[in-house]
Amino acid sequence: MNVFGVGLPEIAVIAALALIIFGPKRLPEFGRTLGKTLKGLQTASSEFEREIQKAISEPEDAQTLTGSELENQNEISKETQSGLQESNPPRS
């Protein structure tokens, strides 16, 4: 078993030191606090990952144009194309 590069013997030593430092009465409280903190980090990480996946799966241009907006876009596009053609006549 190897967690974060720390094996089972190292974890046992850390647990024994924690028991000596915090005492048997405060150790369960410390464990609960650590567990809640890790659970909160795990939840935040999962939520962040879901949001990233959601953003990736959405189409890049998700904006829907109404009929009049689409007509305006087409008109602007035609005007731009005709302006480009007028300013750059075909070469013979």
What span, in angstroms and rounded, lies between the C-alpha atoms of 36 and 28? 12
Distances (CA, A) of 13 to 6, 19, 35, 77: 11, 10, 19, 72
Q: What is the pTM of this model?
A: 0.46
pLDDT at 83: 74
Residue 50 sits in which domain range? Answer: 25-57
pLDDT at 88: 64
Its sign, for the CA torsion 42, 43, 48, 51, is positive
Give pLDDT tens digits for 2-49.
667 778 888 889 888 988 988 888 888 888 998 899 899 999 999 999
Residue 34 lies in a domain: yes
Residue 51 lies in a domain: yes
Structural domains in the chain (count):
1
Residue 31 lies in a domain: yes
Are the CB atoms for 8 and 1 separated by under 8 Å? yes
Residue 46 lies in a domain: yes
What span, in angstroms and rounded, lies between the C-alpha atoms of 37 and 31? 10
Residues in the chain, total: 92
